[in-house]
Structure 1
Amino acid sequence: MSGADRASGEPECSERIGSDPPGTPERDSDGDGTAERDGDGTPERDGNGTPEPGGNRTRAENVPAIERASGRGWGEWVALFEARRAGALGHGEIVRIARSAMPAELQNPDWWAQATAIAYEQHAGLRVPGQSSRGDFRVSASRTLPLDRDAAIEAWAATHGARTEHLGHTPGPPRRSRTEKRSFWRFALDGAGRVEVSATPKGEKTSLGVNHDGLADGERIEEWRAHWKSLLAEL
């Protein structure tokens, strides 16, 4: 694989938590957090200091993209992490291991380091897919619209801004904001966390994403995903 191929690789996950494209990370460095950890940020351990299994071991959907971008096979990544005893480390330390092994020519290496650390945590059973470092859950959906970013937010507001409930939960007052790169519509859901609708330019179009975090458990993730996808489809 050439350096150019690695530098241009992008994740293939169609429904990603906090699915910011490479080059535009505006979220907290933790991204899509880990399973429950001790107070010092490390995984829970048994009496011998060995990390307790944190759920089903899962192959992350973006592993092929990580392999292409980094030029390193997933087996090599696992071997690297295990050689550094990453299973006994906190998320930030795992990210640093990944970052140090990214090729120099790779664009957005910090973003890829986060993605690789998260994928390893899922592989090692330290993280349940969709679970954040706080122990709650997140879900997202997105759609591309033939509008500019502000018009996309206006379309959401006009179509769904007056809704009085989402799957039985009452939305709080919406908050609009705008950065150099994106436009946002945010609101809290009574008893069901927080929702951020973000509009990101994609050439002459806009990617409108719904990121919902703060869910108490993962039982309704797919129900919430279907809900947000259906609202996006109405635009």
Structure 2
Amino acid sequence: MTDGTVRSNAQGMAADNVLAATGRTPDDWYARIDEIDGRTIGHAAIAAWIVEQGVEPWWAQGVTIGYEQARGLRIPGQRSDGSFAVSASRQVPGERETVLDGVVPVCTTAFGFAPTSERRGGKRPSARWTFPDRESVLLTTEDGSRAGTVRIAVQRERLTGPDRMPDAKAELQDLLAAL
């Protein structure tokens, strides 16, 4: 997807950051992954192999996704299961649980039904709405980058294809703008 709806892995993970965190550049990793038959062994096997090389799991996932995108195995926004997802976020003043309590009713009104699940406590309190077509929206709250702020993140998951991504992304952005 090149319309800007979803950033590619390369746009989100600067090569110098990958080098600093993993000891190798993305291109170095991609060449090594090619050597272990990365085009055929699958996402989980690649990520596990990178972790075995001493890389933190979060970075291993990022390198794996970057590899898959660079080699044409998936496009931006596509998950390893073949489905698609888009996300949006916004930072607001407040505390995690209080912000979640204020945002859940807004989402409930927008979606027309209450959350199908909620998780309270912890670092990322959340709520999820699952639609009859199996698409879902996951709302999470976590501490923001500035003291006294909360990052609200919403993700529309299980989209059936890339053509659904622009509308789903716009819906999430509109939802956050209404807060």
TM-score, length-scaled by structure 1: 0.65
Alignment of 1:159 with 2:109, yes or no, is no
CA contact (8 A) 1:197 1:208 kept: yes
CA contact (8 A) 1:183 1:200 kept: yes
Matches within 5 A, 1:24-103: 60-64=10-14, 65-102=17-54
Alignment of 1:207 with 2:148, yes or no, is no
Aligned-residue offset at 1:81: 0.9
Greater percentage in helix: 2
- How many Å separate the matches in 1 of 2:122 and 2:104? 20
Alignment of 1:140 with 2:87, yes or no, is yes
Amino acid at match of 1:180: G
- How many Å separate the matches in 2 of 1:73 and 1:135? 27
CA contact (8 A) 1:142 1:209 kept: yes
Amino acid at match of 1:99: V
Corresponding residue pairs, total: 170
1:52 paired residue number: none
CA contact (8 A) 1:192 1:216 kept: no
The verdict on how the C-alpha distance between 1:110 and 1:16 changes in structure 2, with shifts beyond 3 A counting, is: farther
Alignment of 1:113 with 2:57, yes or no, is no
Alignment of 1:220 with 2:156, yes or no, is no
CA RMSD of aligned residues (A): 2.3
Q: In percent, how many aligned pairs have the same letter?
A: 28
Match of 1:177 among 104, 119, 125: 119
Match of 1:189 among 116, 131, 136: 131
Aligned-residue offset at 1:152: 1.3
- How many Å separate the matches in 2 of 1:83 and 1:134? 23
Unaligned runs of 5+ in 2: none
Greater percentage in strand: 2
CA contact (8 A) 1:193 1:215 kept: yes
CA contact (8 A) 2:9 2:76 kept: no
The verdict on how the C-alpha distance between 1:94 and 1:115 changes in structure 2, with shifts beyond 3 A counting, is: same
- How many Å separate the matches in 2 of 1:177 and 1:16? 27
- How many Å separate the matches in 2 of 1:176 and 1:139? 20
TM-score, length-scaled by structure 2: 0.83
Aligned-residue offset at 1:179: 3.6
SS at match of 2:49: helix
Aligned-residue offset at 1:192: 5.7
